[in-house]
A and B are shown apart, each in its own frame.
Chain A
């Protein structure tokens, strides 16, 4: 259990807090594709652009974890920065 796992938990907590404070009737319980689809179906009122953003974050997180398993420090920083951008975008969308 090295840093990648704990970093992933931190990002998942951030994202889930954002969406679950907005869509309280049905919670998103994880960032797997299948969990995101289940959440969309059960909520019925998640907008497509929010769901797409969450999916993008999910993909970036997965890439972060893969990349962290190899020595690509520069690329890893870039990936993390992209993840932060998506999270900022999600914050902005959920404030609307």
Chain B
């Protein structure tokens, strides 16, 4: 399947994983068409207490393109990935990604998705836990994208909204944010779903929309 290299990224690479955290493993290969998911190496040395391994498979040519265009995921890998095993350290050869110029567009897309969560709760009320999880992704990723303009570069923590260095206070309590995070983990890690009601989630989403709007306004002024 061509040259294959394995990298750790995400919470395990930052050493802030919690019990049951996924182990995010990037698989970089020269020929992604030839990669068989079932034959990937699950033997990640020294990482015995992790949750499920989440493999992301990328061809080196696609990663090169993402580094050239300054994709946020390229920055994530540049800042936080670590080489695990395999062939050549292909990421090291890519150097630093170009500037992440599309952060405003990405934040706007996530803001629109957040609005769709509110609509979906009315359309498909039985998907409430899933939609609450999407609201978590929106809040976290808006903060990650917005953090690019910070002095020390983008922040990829799950708690990025609380760490954003600007004058816009994140409107959710830790408890409310955890509720959304647990909802997301119910859909991705199979954890027990939190007890939530649509009225509360709608209130939370409205708060998030107001916050996201202020972030967008602020980002519009960033050079």
Contacts and interface: CB of A to CB of B under 8 A. Distances in A.
Interface of A: 1-2, 6, 9, 12-13, 16-17, 20-21, 24, 27, 29-35, 37-38, 62, 66, 69-72, 75
A20 B186 CA distance: 15
Contact of B120 (A13, A21, A69, A75): A13
In the A-B complex, list the 9 residue pairs whose CB atoms are closest, starting with the nearest: A30-B187, A34-B190, A20-B126, A38-B190, A29-B187, A29-B129, A29-B186, A17-B124, A70-B59
A34 B189 contact: yes
B52 A34 contact: yes
A13 to B, nearest CB: 6
A29 B130 contact: yes
Interface of B (DSSP majority class):
helix
A12 B193 CA distance: 17
Interface string B122-146: 0010111110011000000100010
A94 B72 CA distance: 40
Nearest to A2: B71
Contacts of A21: 124, 126
Contacts, number: 86
Contact of B62 (A16, A33, A69, A75): A69
B109 A6 contact: yes
Contact of B72 (A1, A9, A66, A71): A1
Contact of B190 (A6, A35, A69, A72): A35
24 contacts: A1-B109, A6-B113, A9-B134, A13-B124, A16-B124, A21-B126, A27-B127, A27-B129, A29-B183, A29-B193, A30-B133, A30-B188, A31-B187, A32-B187, A34-B52, A34-B188, A35-B188, A35-B190, A37-B190, A62-B37, A66-B56, A69-B58, A70-B59, A70-B62
Interface string B177-191: 000000100111111
B70 interface: no
Contacts of A35: 186-190
A70 B33 CA distance: 9
> Quick one: which of A20, A30, A33 has the most chain B CB within 10 A?
A30
B124 A69 contact: no
Given A1-B109, A1-B110, A34-B189, A69 B126 contact: no
B39 to A, nearest CB: 14
Nearest to A9: B134
A38 B141 CA distance: 27
Nearest to B54: A32
Given A17-B124, A17-B127, A69-B59, A27 B193 contact: yes
Nearest to A63: B37
A2 B100 CA distance: 13
B150 interface: no
